[in-house]
Amino acid sequence: MKDFYMNLREKTEEFEEKNLSPYAFKSKSSRGRIIPEEKCLVRTDFQRDRDRILHSKAFRRLKHKTQVFISPEGDHYRTRLTHTLEVSQIARTIARALRLNEDLTEAIALGHDLGHTPFGHTGEKVLNELMPGGFKHEEQSLRVVDKLEQGRGLNLTFEVRDGILNHTSRRNPSTLEGQVVKISDWIAYINHDIDDALRAGILKEEDLPKWPIDILGNKHAKRIDTMIKDIILESYEKPYIKMSEEVYKATYALREFMFERVYIGSKAKSQEDKAQIMLELMFKYFVKNVDKLPDEYKKIVEKEGKERGVCDYIAGMTDSFAIYKFREIFVPSSWPLKN
- pLDDT confidence bin for 264, thresholds 50/70/90: confident
Q: How far is CA 251 from CA 65, 89, 217, 247, 325, in A?
A: 26, 19, 11, 6, 39
Does 124 map to a domain? yes
Q: What is the mean pLDDT of residues 281-310?
A: 97
Does 278 map to a domain? no
Q: Are 173 and 167 in contact (CB under 8 A)?
A: yes
Q: What is the mean pLDDT of residues 248-255?
A: 97
CA–CA dist 204, 5 (Å, integer)? 55
Range of the structural domain that residue 202 is part of: 47-272
pLDDT of residue 261: 87
Q: What is the mean pLDDT of the chain?
A: 92
CA–CA dist 25, 175 (Å, integer)? 7
Does 62 map to a domain? yes
Does 64 map to a domain? yes
- The DSSP line for 47-110 is HHHHHHHHTSHHHHHGGGSBSSSSS-SSS-S-BHHHHHHHHHHHHHHHHHHTT--HHHHHHHHH
CA–CA dist 252, 86 (Å, integer)? 19
Does 1 map to a domain? no
pLDDT of residue 333: 75
CA–CA dist 317, 211 (Å, integer)? 41
CA–CA dist 55, 154 (Å, integer)? 11
pLDDT of residue 205: 92
Residues in CB range of 235: below 8 A, 6 or more apart = 94, 98, 241, 242
Residues in CB range of 281: below 8 A, 6 or more apart = 326, 329, 330
Does 240 map to a domain? yes
The CB-side HSE value for 228 (13 A sphere, CA atoms) comes to 24
- pLDDT above 70: residue 54: yes
Which of 121, 127, 140, 243 shows the shortest CA–CA distance to 182? 243
Q: What is the mean pLDDT of residues 237-254?
A: 97
pLDDT (tens digit, 9 = 90+) per residue, 58-103? 999 999 998 776 655 555 678 899 999 999 999 999 999 999 999 9
> Total structural domains in the chain?
1
Does 146 map to a domain? yes
Which of 189, 202, 194 shows the shortest CA–CA distance to 120? 189
pLDDT of residue 313: 98
pLDDT (tens digit, 9 = 90+) per residue, 113-148? 999 999 988 899 999 999 999 999 999 999 999 999
Does 333 map to a domain? no
pLDDT of residue 3: 66
Q: What is the mean pLDDT of residues 299-315?
A: 98
- Please provide the size of the chain in residues: 339
CA–CA dist 287, 264 (Å, integer)? 30
CA–CA dist 178, 181 (Å, integer)? 5
Q: Are 312 and 143 in contact (CB under 8 A)?
A: yes
CA–CA dist 292, 131 (Å, integer)? 19
pLDDT of residue 67: 76
pLDDT (tens digit, 9 = 90+) per residue, 160-210? 999 999 999 778 999 999 999 999 999 999 999 999 889 888 899 999 999
Residue 187, domain CATH: 1.10.3210.10
